Amino acid sequence: MPVVTLPDGSQRRFDHPVTVDEVAAGIGAGLRKAALAGRVNGKLVDTSYVIADDANLAIVTDKDADGLDIIRHSTAHLLAQAVKELFPDAQVTIGPVIEDGFYYDFAYERPFTTEDLAAIEAKMAELAKADQKVTRRVLSRDEAVTFFRNLGEIYKAEIIASIPEKEEISLYGQGNWVDLCRGPHVPSTGKLKAFKLTKVAGAYWRGDSRNEMLQRIYGTAWADRKQLEEYLHRLEEAEKRDHRRIGRELDLFHMQEEAPGAVFWHPKGWRVFQTLIGFMRERQRAAGYQEVNAPELMDATLWQQSGHLEKFGESMYLTKTPDERLYAIKPMNCPGHVQIFKHGLRSYRELPLRLAEFGKVHRYEPSGALHGLMRVRAFTQDDAHIFITEAQITAECVAVTKQILEIYADFGFEDVRIKFADRPPKRVGTDEVWDRAEEALKAASRAAGIEYALNRGEGAFYGPKLEFVLRDAIGRDWQCGTLQVDLNLPGRLGAYYIDEHSAKRTPVMLHRATFGSLERFFAILLEHHAGRLPAWLAPVQAVVLSITERQDGYVGAVTETLKNQGFLVESDLRNEKVGFKIREHTLQRVPYLLVAGDKEVAAHLLSVRTRNGKDLGTMSPETFAERLRIELDSRGRQTVEG
């Protein structure tokens, strides 16, 4: 009879098979009440799962990450149950867990309205309060297909028909409702206490635009009301910080249907964009990078040779010339940099050779995936490729990692998480080469003293990578920079150098990006700072305001003097009340407002205040210029304004 070993090493012996629920009850009534599922020998199972043999068991509660996922998955089922009770003709399809919540796709004759969502949420609350028991049963594939066809659920029947014949088909039921699912799920609907439906959107069946359009209802679910309220507050704050709204308000950029997924940069936005490039250019030059530029349009055979055409072909823009030659607009910069490396004979004495480019790339994204600057089709990468020997991997990876983290700190991102992404299922190169590449990157990570979480199967198709994830001012995570060790592409593209013994050697290539996409990093900065960019990044650093027309000459002279010193300064001579002007430029998030009245003109002074309303008193234009110069020169480690 089973011996159950718990996480603390203690053991429980039973003279009969027991369920996870019974083990939890034997430990304590409180644990039984809190139990959502179990992990038996590493596998997540329901609390009704029967343990017949010796096993390791961990009880899963809402304190565990797995527990929160189970709550969200079960809440997706609760949503589908509520929809079926309110709209019996609706057909259910799939309902997975996503970051911070869940969604469920439905086929229904008309669009769901805001009023429908409110009614569905109310019905969900009613079903949760009823504390209906959740049960599991197993059918054969054919039995399951017949079951759902008899219910009129043709989408579910289609899903099941595509499952291998011998695979176990499990169904979960609560009340009068049954759904196809692998599970596990909460023991009863009463465990679902904190949820909210957030929006409804369109989605194609199985993600294919050739299929029918379904309706996707999104929601969020948490362990308790407090966590839910905190999340909803973050959503509200995120809405205020939406970079698309800020972009409109500050006249930074726009996008339009004639160029989907591409940006029309306005003067102020382009000024910030170029400041980002200038900053990175300066840092790269100091670290020994050489800036290059490769063509945007290259023969498709090059992309076939590199492996990109097979891997990314559906996302690449291809064009055929009148002479039937097929070209591709580059989706990334690496093959172009390899061509630059190959031009001329390279010696080991030249390595590391660090090539960097602010390369414009194009990738097709479905229309529904486009999202302001965050998800575009045309974007600029701060891309670099470092050609080295295998012996140089550790030292170079340590240097790159150190620089990336320092740059993030310069922009106010001190909380940076790192993930190690290992080999994906679809890749180039042998397992032996991947073993070497992964061990080299792990060794470099140890040498750099960094800790990382494992992101299984998410490496690039040519090599493993470190992913740098930034946490912003309201707790959201953004994956930006990457560092990849590549032992495959250089050889596929015929790159080599001459070693100290006059033999040809294939270089290792490190792929490095810090911002990732400049457009996306721009958006992250706008949202992180809520549009209040630090003075060195702001498109306008100060505005000089007159109170009456008597100060116009003085304001104009001060503005020109500050401009001539390289500051981004404008004047406001409009015949408006000074309070109106101050409010308007505060809303424009201008860091400094310089007011000149008769007293200031007479004393050759300015009344200086910040966009947050702080009065810095009066000072001469020269003193203000010196103050601003010091701030701009010490631009590192910028904090977020309150």
Residues acting as catalytic residues: 334, 363, 381, 383, 385, 465, 511
CA gyration radius, the chain: 30
Closest CA to 119 of 17, 48, 197: 197
CA atoms of 347 and 498, how far apart (whole Å): 5
* Greatest CA separation for the chain: 97
CA atoms of 335 and 489, how far apart (whole Å): 8
Phi, psi (rounded to 5 degrees) for 527 = -75, -40
Judge whether 510 and 486 are in contact, CB under 8 Å. Answer: yes
Long-range contacts of 613-617 (CB under 8 A, 24+ apart): 613/586
Helix 267-286 vs helix 518-528: crossing angle, to nearest 10? 110
635 CB neighbour count, 10 Å cutoff: 14
CA angle 55, 56, 59 (to 5 degrees): 120
Judge whether 268 and 251 are in contact, CB under 8 Å. Answer: yes
Judge whether 601 and 618 are in contact, CB under 8 Å. Answer: no
CA atoms of 306 and 304, how far apart (whole Å): 5
How far, rounded to the nearest angstrom, does the alpha carbon of residue 610 sit from its chain's CA centroid? 32
Backbone region of residue 376 per phi and psi (left: phi > 0; alpha: psi in -120 to 50; beta: other values):
beta
Q: Which residues contact 47 (CB under 8 A, 6 or more apart)?
A: 19, 20, 21, 24, 35, 36, 37, 38, 187
Q: CA dist 429 to 433, 454, 461, Å?
A: 6, 21, 9
Closest CA to 495 of 507, 483, 479, 487: 507
Q: Which residues contact 623 (CB under 8 A, 6 or more apart)?
A: none
- Tokens coding 103: 């969604």
CA atoms of 83 and 177, how far apart (whole Å): 11
Judge whether 596 and 555 are in contact, CB under 8 Å. Answer: yes
Measured in residues, the chain has a length of 642
CA atoms of 282 and 280, how far apart (whole Å): 5
CA angle 372, 373, 374 (to 5 degrees): 90
- Tokens coding 422: 């290992």
622 CB neighbour count, 10 Å cutoff: 12
State the DSSP code for 34.
Answer: H
CA atoms of 277 and 380, how far apart (whole Å): 10
How far, rounded to the nearest angstrom, does the alpha carbon of residue 183 sit from its chain's CA centroid? 27
Q: CA dist 114 to 102, 254, 478, Å?
A: 18, 29, 30
- CA torsion 259-260-265-266 (nearest 10°) is 80
472 CB neighbour count, 10 Å cutoff: 19
Residue with tokens 């947050």: 612
